[in-house]
Chain A
């Protein structure tokens, strides 16, 4: 950073409410999203713990809940999936870190539409509260899973949580779609119009590329879900029959007030959103991983252009493969073949990325910090979870493995765990810029090893359960003989889950302790090149609004031969 840059460190004084609650500052909104997701992940993890306990000991009495009945189990399942997919994996990597760091890395003074940004956060918060409200209404939360397959989700008398609980779910997700679309508009406009002078597209950090492509995916995918959710709400409350088939029997009674629609239509619309959604969750994580591996290997990222191309290719292919979620729903074999081929094709850009990550590390002077460990963990989990992807993409094999624990293992490893590792990496890495202090390294490393071994201990055995034919989504299969034989493995998974979730307490303690007691961080503690590190830590409220940086270098100029410093700032 040139010493002459006029950065004023005097805080911008705004009244309390404008500063902390109704702030239009992207840095405050980013932090708000971060804490919203933290709340959501705690609830979601608690629900998974309850489910795991129930699976290991079906008749155990859990404190505050009592014995878990089948409808409770399904409600926990639905809420766990919804919270984790929408309010954690789609929220914190994109809207949390993205809102905070996209403008800073691009050298912009704020997002393109700051008030829209604030509206997006408040819509997300309201939708989060509406979702949680479903636990406290008569009948409880919805039972239909995060995919809300019709007709189960379309008929109020189909189950205990299918009344008000499902309506609340749909309203909540409708609002979430709205807020996601609003923030996607903001992200794309910011990337297109607010870059600092000299910040060409090929000089953007890979994190920004990932946020940009993810925003495009969000924009297209969430619009589809919005339309589908509106149609389902109409089916439930206005008597239309878009998704309810004719001649349906529920609990022995014929459904007479619906004229006949198609549950398959819901599946198509849902998965046309749902598959891009997977990439919405994991692409920002890929960006963070690429960025961090380069920073801590002290090497330029290997194949920058290939990384950008792979990001775009994954995004584009992500829209053409939704059918692989529906092989078991019945499908023309030719369509199945097309979906299968396209799905397998995603392995190509994914392999390019994986190769480039490993090649970035190769021969680097690696600094083994906690963020690096978590990024490497991301690569590990991405490979492990990814390898089962091409298997599940084969229609013949998928019909057998569909709705077994094999699928649970696959998507938890590649989407949930890998995504979460990227979030952890980003938290440890950007914590100094967000809160002005460093997180504790020793606790961080302990947290990493517990989480890494824990994730594998939980999800690797699930592959075996799936191959042996253990179906998912059932609350209790005690009477079924071949499943009973797998009870010891289920119990092992539950123990691993308890240990892993308990291990996250280390992270929480580290987070809150470091926020107030950690070592005070300098402007650039990790010796990075990107623009956010030219600002003091924590990033002051005015950001780049009183001086605009001019970018002269690429984002990954490390280990420059013959230079006195081993890195070159982008504006230097």
Chain B
């Protein structure tokens, strides 16, 4: 009888499950599932969970938008250094003409965007406060909460877009069009795409702002819209300053 063999048999029992630890300790937040071992009321817990899910979603969208602008930036730097081949003289020429930016208007627009970020953050905080008060069964004090911060943000958002239109008109009146020079092409592409993305956020905010007057019952989804668009909106502000810095410091 091979006694040793028996031992070996026990030692070499195949591990089950093809990898991974056999037993995973249970802990809160495993994949967002409701583990049933928390103390808070489940409605509150579910709401938090939902908000976190939306935050992951919007963070991923921010990644996408960042990539679009990275591509443009790479192309911008690449094109600036490239020049073009002039066939009549058979040589490479530097054809990048630096753009005279309308700084005053651009700075005003930047200020508007910063203000809108602040009002949106205030709106978000007052809404979060309202929710917490509601969860505790307290009628919220009517101090900050009633000022239409959200409406303010929407107005400032539109003001920024209008300001960008002024910038474009300003450049066009100087004869700088989309196709005039590579530098102007990139300028319009950067500002245009930024405006389009900002308008997307504006639509969600508009929904939240109008919804809060029309249907009181859908406060929760408005709150999520504001929370989530908050991240996006602040990102749009940062992106704007990134673009502004690029256009200023890397004029060519």
Q: Do the beta carbons of B95 and A259 come within 8 Å of each other?
A: yes
Closest to A191 in B: B31
Closest to B52 in A: A193
CB-CB under 8 A for A301 and B19, given A261-B182, A561-B14: yes
User: B56 an interface residue at 8 Å Cβ cutoff?
Assistant: yes
Give Cα distance in the complex from A107 to B32, angstroms. 11
Q: Do the beta carbons of A193 and B56 come within 8 Å of each other?
A: yes
A195, A220, A246: the one contacting B67 at CB < 8 Å is A220
B31, B64, B79, B193: the one contacting A219 at CB < 8 Å is B64
Contacts of A230 in B (CB 8 A): 189, 193
Contacts of A555 in B (CB 8 A): 17-18
User: B33 an interface residue at 8 Å Cβ cutoff?
Assistant: yes
Q: Do the beta carbons of B84 and A554 come within 8 Å of each other?
A: no
Q: Do the beta carbons of A242 and B30 come within 8 Å of each other?
A: no
Q: Do the beta carbons of A560 and B16 come within 8 Å of each other?
A: yes
Give Cα distance in the complex from A202 to B19, angstroms. 7
Give Cα distance in the complex from A568 to B22, angstroms. 13
Closest to A294 in B: B18
CB-CB under 8 A for A189 and B179, given A198-B26, A301-B18, A548-B34: no
Contacts of B34 in A (CB 8 A): 197, 548
User: B71 an interface residue at 8 Å Cβ cutoff?
Assistant: yes
Q: Do the beta carbons of A247 and B85 come within 8 Å of each other?
A: yes
Stretch at the interface among A15-23, A180-188, A519-527: A180-188
Give Cα distance in the complex from A199 to B33, angstroms. 9
User: B13 an interface residue at 8 Å Cβ cutoff?
Assistant: yes
Closest to B56 in A: A189
Contacts of B72 in A (CB 8 A): 227, 231
Give Cα distance in the complex from A238 to B17, angstroms. 58
CB-CB under 8 A for A304 and B19, given A197-B34, A246-B86: yes
Q: Do the beta carbons of B68 and A223 come within 8 Å of each other?
A: yes
- CB 8 Å contact bits of B53-64 with A (1 = contact, 0 = none): 100110011011
Contacts of B84 in A (CB 8 A): 245-247, 259-261
A197, A202, A260: the one contacting B33 at CB < 8 Å is A197
Contacts of B79 in A (CB 8 A): 242, 261-262, 265
Q: Do the beta carbons of B71 and A224 come within 8 Å of each other?
A: yes
- CB 8 Å contact bits of A286-321 with B (1 = contact, 0 = none): 000000001000001111110110000000000000
Contacts of A240 in B (CB 8 A): 178-179, 185, 189
Closest to B36 in A: A197
User: A541 an interface residue at 8 Å Cβ cutoff?
Assistant: no
Nearest-Cβ distance from residue A31 to partner chain B, whole angstroms: 24
Q: How many of chain B's residues touch chain A, expressed as a range?
A: 35 or more
B16, B64, B67: the one contacting A554 at CB < 8 Å is B16
B17, B31, B56, B87: the one contacting A199 at CB < 8 Å is B31
Give Cα distance in the complex from A226 to B182, angstroms. 20
Contacts of A265 in B (CB 8 A): 75, 78-79
Give Cα distance in the complex from A559 to B60, angstroms. 40
Closest to A181 in B: B64
Closest to A556 in B: B18
B15, B31, B78: the one contacting A262 at CB < 8 Å is B78
Q: Do the beta carbons of A200 and B20 come within 8 Å of each other?
A: yes
- CB 8 Å contact bits of A301-345 with B (1 = contact, 0 = none): 111110110000000000000000000000000000000000000
Q: Do the beta carbons of A557 and B17 come within 8 Å of each other?
A: yes
Closest to B35 in A: A197
Nearest-Cβ distance from residue A255 to partner chain B, whole angstroms: 11
Q: Is the interface of A mostly helix, strand, loop or mixed?
A: loop
User: B143 an interface residue at 8 Å Cβ cutoff?
Assistant: no
Q: Do the beta carbons of B71 and A200 come within 8 Å of each other?
A: no
- CB 8 Å contact bits of B143-161 with A (1 = contact, 0 = none): 0000000000000000000
User: B181 an interface residue at 8 Å Cβ cutoff?
Assistant: yes
Nearest-Cβ distance from residue B183 to partner chain A, whole angstroms: 11
Nearest-Cβ distance from residue A196 to partner chain B, whole angstroms: 5
Contacts of B63 in A (CB 8 A): 219-220, 223
Q: Do the beta carbons of B20 and A194 come within 8 Å of each other?
A: no
Q: CB within 8 Å of A: which of B201-243?
A: none
B35, B60, B182, B189: the one contacting A259 at CB < 8 Å is B182
Contacts of A220 in B (CB 8 A): 63, 67
Q: Do the beta carbons of A202 and B21 come within 8 Å of each other?
A: yes
User: B24 an interface residue at 8 Å Cβ cutoff?
Assistant: yes
Closest to B184 in A: A240
Q: Do the beta carbons of A197 and B64 come within 8 Å of each other?
A: no
User: A399 an interface residue at 8 Å Cβ cutoff?
Assistant: no
Give Cα distance in the complex from A195 to B33, angstroms. 6
User: B82 an interface residue at 8 Å Cβ cutoff?
Assistant: yes
Q: Do the beta carbons of A568 and B33 come within 8 Å of each other?
A: no
CB-CB under 8 A for A198 and B19, given A223-B64, A241-B185: no
A186, A227, A553: the one contacting B16 at CB < 8 Å is A553
Most buried by B among A194, A196, A197: A197
Nearest-Cβ distance from residue B211 to partner chain A, whole angstroms: 16
Contacts of A181 in B (CB 8 A): 64
Closest to B196 in A: A230
Nearest-Cβ distance from residue B10 to partner chain A, whole angstroms: 11
Give Cα distance in the complex from A395 to B27, angstroms. 52
Most buried by B among A226, A242, A262: A242
- CB 8 Å contact bits of A227-257 with B (1 = contact, 0 = none): 1101100100011111001110000000001
Contacts of B31 in A (CB 8 A): 106, 192-197, 199-200
Give Cα distance in the complex from A131 to B189, angstroms. 26
Q: Do the beta carbons of A231 and B189 come within 8 Å of each other?
A: yes
Q: Do the beta carbons of B181 and A224 come within 8 Å of each other?
A: no
Closest to A239 in B: B179
Contacts of B19 in A (CB 8 A): 202, 300-301, 303-305, 307-308, 554, 556
Closest to A562 in B: B13
Closest to A220 in B: B67
Give Cα distance in the complex from A261 to B179, angstroms. 12
A188, A238, A548: the one contacting B178 at CB < 8 Å is A238
Q: Do the beta carbons of B56 and A192 come within 8 Å of each other?
A: yes
Closest to A106 in B: B31
Q: Do the beta carbons of A188 and B60 come within 8 Å of each other?
A: yes
A231, A246, A556, A557: the one contacting B75 at CB < 8 Å is A231
Q: Do the beta carbons of B68 and A189 come within 8 Å of each other?
A: no
Q: CB within 8 Å of B: which of A197-212?
A: 197-200, 202-203
Contacts of A226 in B (CB 8 A): 68
Q: Do the beta carbons of B64 and A568 come within 8 Å of each other?
A: no
List 7 interface pairs A-B (beta carbons < 8 Å), by A numbering. A189-B60, A194-B53, A197-B34, A220-B63, A227-B67, A302-B18, A557-B18
**Known interface pairs A185-B57, A192-B56; 16 further A-B residue pairs with C-beta atoms within 8 A, sorted by A's residue number:** A194-B31, A197-B30, A197-B35, A223-B64, A223-B67, A227-B67, A227-B72, A231-B72, A242-B75, A247-B87, A300-B18, A553-B16, A555-B17, A556-B18, A557-B16, A561-B13
Q: Which 5 A-B pairs have the closest CB atoms?
A: A554-B17, A304-B19, A195-B31, A260-B84, A300-B18
